Amino acid sequence: MILKNHICKTLFLCFLGFTAVLFSCSDDDSSTVSEEDKTLLISTNINSLTFEDTELGSSSNRNFSLQYANLNAPIKITTMGDFQIGFDLENLSKSIDISNEDEETTKTIYVKFTPTQTGLQNSELKIVNGDEFEKIITLQAKGKVKTITMSTFSDKRVAFGNGHDQSAVQSFDFPTDIDKVSQIKMFVKLRCPAGGCDEWDVFANVKVKDPATGEFYEMGRFITPYWNDNSQLPRGFEYDVTDFKSLLTGNNELRIRTECWNSKGYLVSVEFDFIYGTPEYKYSAIVPIIAYDDWSSSGVPYGKTHNFDLDKSVSIPNEAEKIHLRSTISGWGHATPYDSGGRGCAEWCYRTHYIKINGTQKYTHDLGPIGCAQNPVSNQEPGNWKPDRAGWCPGMEVPIRIDEMESTWAGQSFNFEYDYENWTNNGANGDAFYATNTFVVVQSNNPISPAIVN
């Protein structure tokens, strides 16, 4: 509390639950003034305000009463941080004034919290009347992530035979304010239909359609559990699919597929968490460089001559501020010659793959063991789920491999080649395949088009 150079007597009065501070003052020259002119009254009914936890992109508000009388100077009220104040909730700012000629004696002050970041925020609201009065009201609030959970397929039966299909395609309405979304997660839940689940571990995935090309892009791949579902995971298999945010907006189609070869199959549910916040970059675009990922056996033949095109020319748009490659690879088959321990290709044989940029090995993909015996989806008996495969496990998501590129490629072109470790199939036990895709993702704070792949 700051007082002018007056001769003052301070009186503290309590009434109706308010604490009032009254100042009785006279000037040093002992001039005569009326009692009404001498008495300043400013009081509030609170010392602090605590707000409910508030999602980013939303607001919460509180208010308090301010009583005053006999003002010799305007009252100035200020705040800071993610808080604003006003005499109503429509006209808000960081500072408001009450004129000393104001004839009202009570005003309601509104305080609005609009978080721009997560976590606890401590701030203050200051009430000042010239040099004669100052009060601090503490403000405490917490910003939290806003998440919209969206269900798409719900217990959709995918199987083979008895009128069932291994695939399903359906349109859904996704959020349209995608520029405010910082992350998108996808969850795939499997349940067993009446009669039980498929006995085998089979290739499966979820794709989203690119309306511009009509192609479906694989967002997540998994291998089904033997005999069972993935109910040991509360929400099922989890994927970060933020790279596809330019497609997961408005009305668009999804496709689910499981390579089941019996009529049991699975009941498949897919849902998304759209997590709001400030994205690293406002705009993004994605396009496949190679996409041999429809089925396990539609992958690239391994160890033999083929006509699959693994060499591309990629042109990066000028606006790109961040660039990365996104790849998913899983091998199939028990082709010979076996590696030591009887490991056939390409399900069991550990291999190293390379991405070449302009003819030089730049990125490495190690298809080795990932700990199948530690898989939380462990209800797969009597299936052979514990031994390590080459880069994947039954009842688990197939890993997504991210390779960051230098931003200096913006406005430039490069030659891409996906290169498999040398090995020759002797043809004694069938074929080997690598279901392989690589996407190029570009991001920018300015509108951006996908890279061009030739």
CB 280 within 8 A of CB 323: no
Q: For the chain, what are the domain ranges? A: 7-144, 145-279, 280-454
Strand partners, 222: 204, 397
Active-site residue identified among 82, 132, 201, 294: 201
**Residue 6: Cβ-neighbour burial (10 angstroms; 0-12, 13-18, 19+):** middle
Encode pLDDT of 306-340 as tens digits.
Answer: 999 999 999 999 999 999 999 999 999 999 999 99
Residues of the chain with pLDDT under 50: 1-36
Q: Write the single-letter amino acid at 230.
A: N
In CATH, the architecture of 7-144 is Sandwich (2.60)
Active-site residue identified among 259, 293, 417, 431: 259
pLDDT, residue 31, reads 32
Q: What's the angle, vertex CA 183, arms to CA 177 and CA 186, rounded to 5?
A: 100
* Nearest in space to 201 (alpha carbons), one of 258, 160, 270: 258
Report d(CA 441, CA 304) in Å as an integer: 31
Q: Do domains 145-279 and 280-454 have the same CATH topology?
A: yes
Active-site residue identified among 82, 132, 210, 347: 347
CB 409 within 8 A of CB 227: no
Report d(CA 308, CA 317) in Å as an integer: 26
* Strand spans (E) along 130-202: 133-144, 146-151, 156-158, 167-174, 181-191
CB 292 within 8 A of CB 415: no
Half-sphere exposure of 32 (CA within 13 A, CB side): 0
The residue with tokens 């688990």 is 396
Strand partners, 39: 24
Class for the domain spanning 280-454: mainly beta
The backbone torsions φ and ψ at residue 243, rounded to the nearest 5 degrees and listed phi first, read -60, -20
Reply yes or no on whether 201 is catalytic: yes
Reply yes or no on whether 293 is catalytic: no
pLDDT, residue 277, reads 83
Reply yes or no on whether 28 is catalytic: no
Q: Write the single-letter amino acid at 346.
A: A
pTM (predicted TM-score): 0.79
In CATH, the architecture of 145-279 is Sandwich (2.60)
